[in-house]
Amino acid sequence: MANCIRCGRQLPGLSFGRKVCQWCVQHDAAQRGEVVDDARQPVMRTPWVRRGESTISLTQIFFGINVAVYLGMVLASGSPFQEFPGMELVRWGANAGALTLSGEWWRLLTCVFIHGGLLHIAFNMWCLWDLGALSESLYGRWTFGALYLICGVGASLASITWNVHVLSVGASGAIFGLAGALIAAFKLGEFSVPREALSGTLRSLVVFVGFNLVFGVASRVTDNAAHIGGLVTGLILGALMAVFAPRQEHAPRRVLIFFVMILALAGGASSLAHHYGLPLRLRRVNLGQASDFPQPGVDPTLLSRRL
């Protein structure tokens, strides 16, 4: 997090070359007699007071949604310590290629808040709590929220692109997106703290990504395509924001960056549907059949799971 080296006030996220806040700049100018006596000093909150800010972060809200969905699935199935069966995951909104491509595109997002078992959600929520808090403090609430959701969709789309015959659930794709955005930010952004102070965090992020990708290759139930899709989406968004919209006041540029990425993902979804001979449409599909899906033997009730 970038802070003023004089007073400690928080600087805008990814502040390029700005080591001193606006308040201290004008205060120093006033001390040197370079401004008139009645010039207005900018009002900036002191670094130790946070007035008017919600005590609940968006990271905590996402965490709560994931836990609430998991508890709902436990109450519905009665199996708190066992993995949920495939049909249960489908009912709650898992990313199933035959259903998603046939019109249930909302599964690209709903699957991000669904987990297959206790260990699955425990590990993902541990990662979300740490990386989410770091990302939200760096980017701000709304940017972090858009980044998380878009990376989740990018991960889900990569999953069904790589293997359309599997179920995919979990927040790990979106979490990899946060890691990718943070890596791009620490690599391309400029902060008021020495670069050496960021190197440790950057190394930890790279190790986290590398270890989990290697583990995903060795595991038979890990959806590594979703991890890579989320990571690439996050790297692209993080790099674009670091170069073109590093500060909080660059909100319109960030909106444009997110809009372009959403269009790119929509184009990818359209191309994927066209590849299977399906029109791009939004509709509900019966669980027992996906008759418009051209692949033989694809039954959404019997798809393999990949968590």
Domains of the chain, with CATH numbers?
1-46 (no CATH), 62-279 (1.20.1540.10)
105 in the Ramachandran plot: left (φ > 0), alpha (ψ -120 to 50) or beta? alpha
Nearest residue to 262 via CA among 111, 108, 119, 58: 108
Nearest-10 Cα torsion for 101, 103, 105, 106: -140
Cα 135 to Cα 181: distance, rounded to the nearest angstrom: 8
The sheet with strand 304-306 has its strands ordered as: 95-96, 166-168, 304-306
* SS3 call for 305: strand
User: What pLDDT score was predicted for residue 2?
Assistant: 56
User: What pLDDT score was predicted for residue 217?
Assistant: 86
Cα 97 to Cα 9: distance, rounded to the nearest angstrom: 48
Q: Is 156 exposed, middle or buried (0-12, 13-18, 19+ CB in 10 A)?
A: buried
Asked if residues 93 and 111 have their Cβ atoms less than 8 Å apart, the reply is: yes
Cα 53 to Cα 180: distance, rounded to the nearest angstrom: 27
User: What pLDDT score was predicted for residue 295?
Assistant: 47
- Does the active-site annotation cover 270? no
Catalytic hit among 135, 172, 192, 250: 172
Catalytic hit among 227, 250, 270, 271: 227
The CA angle 137-138-141, to the nearest 5 degrees, is 60
Cα 100 to Cα 88: distance, rounded to the nearest angstrom: 16
Cα 284 to Cα 293: distance, rounded to the nearest angstrom: 14
- Does the active-site annotation cover 227? yes
User: What pLDDT score was predicted for residue 13?
Assistant: 52
Nearest-10 Cα torsion for 184, 187, 193, 197: 110
Q: Digits of tens for pLDDT over the chain (307 positions)? A: 456 656 656 665 544 455 667 767 777 777 677 765 555 555 545 444 444 455 789 999 999 999 999 999 999 987 767 789 888 999 999 999 989 999 999 999 999 999 999 999 999 999 999 999 999 988 999 999 999 999 999 999 999 999 898 899 999 999 999 999 999 998 888 665 556 667 778 888 999 999 999 988 888 788 899 999 999 999 999 999 999 998 888 899 999 999 999 999 999 999 999 998 888 888 887 755 554 555 433 444 434 444 5
Beta strands in the chain (DSSP E): 95-96, 166-168, 304-306
Taking the CA of residue 274 as centre, how many other CA atoms within 13 Å lie in the half-sphere pointing to its CB? 6
Q: What global pTM score does this model have?
A: 0.79
Q: What is the DSSP letter of 5?
A: T
Cα 212 to Cα 289: distance, rounded to the nearest angstrom: 35
